[in-house]
Structure 1
Amino acid sequence: MTEAVILCVDDEVMILDSLQEQISRHFGDRFLYEAAESGEEALEILEELNEEGINIVLIVSDWLMPEMRGDEFLIRVHQQFNGITKILLTGQADQEAIERATQEANLYGCIYKPWREENLIEIIKKSLKLA
């Protein structure tokens, strides 16, 4: 079976831990889970996984991060890697950034902080077409 990875990106470690914990609790060993604290770190992880032939199926990325905002990061991902579903996680993204990510990064959806676990899981299931 091909390994499939869900990558979470947020500059706040507490948020990253919470995201990974909730997602892995629900999906268990169906996926591998990776985390990055910045867009740059996430791009490095994506490059490594891609070189190893590991399939990245989903990225859940924060919007407001230092150096590279989430919409910019997801646009770069879209340009470099095919077929990754992208969800933006935000407490303060402006509508323009969300629309830009939708247009230029094929953004699947947006989750607003603070999120509810059942909403997070539901959007992931829908985005990955899981029952």
Structure 2
Amino acid sequence: MSKPVILCVDDEKIILESLKRQLRTEFGKNYSYEFAEDAEEAMELIEELVEEESEEILVIVSDWLMPGKKGDEFLIDVHRRYPNIVKIMLTGQADEDAVERVKEQANLHSCLNKPWKEQELVKVLHAGLKK
């Protein structure tokens, strides 16, 4: 049986590497970890995992400011199709309107500011995984 998935989306590879290291340190082999560099790639990955491979995505950690579709729009799109996925936004510069929009339209679990504290990310992820 396959492991549930945590998906991270950010256009900066160094951020994805940092998330990968922190997730593996905290959760080990309890989950599968997937990574995408923009919203379009992430949506294709979600569709492949959920619809073709019947994988369960538990949490998405997404940047806000990315080329193409911004994180708020992406998470709202995800919520419309997959409402049970827990959504966390990472941002260094999201405007408050974008954060509010995701809270209202996509049931945003949490928004963390970059640079985040590892303990804060872990705490938010544990809470999201309990949902």
- Give the TM-score taking structure 2 as reference length: 0.96
Instruction: Name the structure 1 match of 2:59.
Output: 58
Asked if residue 111 in structure 1 is aligned to residue 94 in structure 2, the reply is no
Distance of 2:95 and 2:74 partners within structure 1: 15
Distance of 1:21 and 1:8 partners within structure 2: 12
Segments of structure 1 that go 5 or more residues without pairing to the other structure are none
Distance of 2:82 and 2:129 partners within structure 1: 17
Pairwise CA distance, 1:84: 0.3
* Deviation digits for residues 66-112 of structure 1 (CA, Å, limit 9, x no counterpart): 10100000001001113100000000001100000011111100010
Asked if residue 91 in structure 1 is aligned to residue 92 in structure 2, the reply is yes
Instruction: Name the structure 2 match of 1:79.
Output: 80
* Deviation digits for residues 6-45 of structure 1 (CA, Å, limit 9, x no counterpart): 0000000000110111011100011000000000000000
- Give the TM-score taking structure 1 as reference length: 0.96
Instruction: Name the structure 2 match of 1:38.
Output: 38
Superposed CA RMSD: 1.1
**Equivalent AA in structure 2 for residue 97 of structure 1:** A
For the residue of structure 1 that corresponds to 2:123, the secondary structure is helix
**Equivalent AA in structure 2 for residue 127 of structure 1:** G
For the residue of structure 2 that corresponds to 1:30, the secondary structure is coil
Distance of 2:93 and 2:83 partners within structure 1: 27
Segments of structure 2 that go 5 or more residues without pairing to the other structure are none
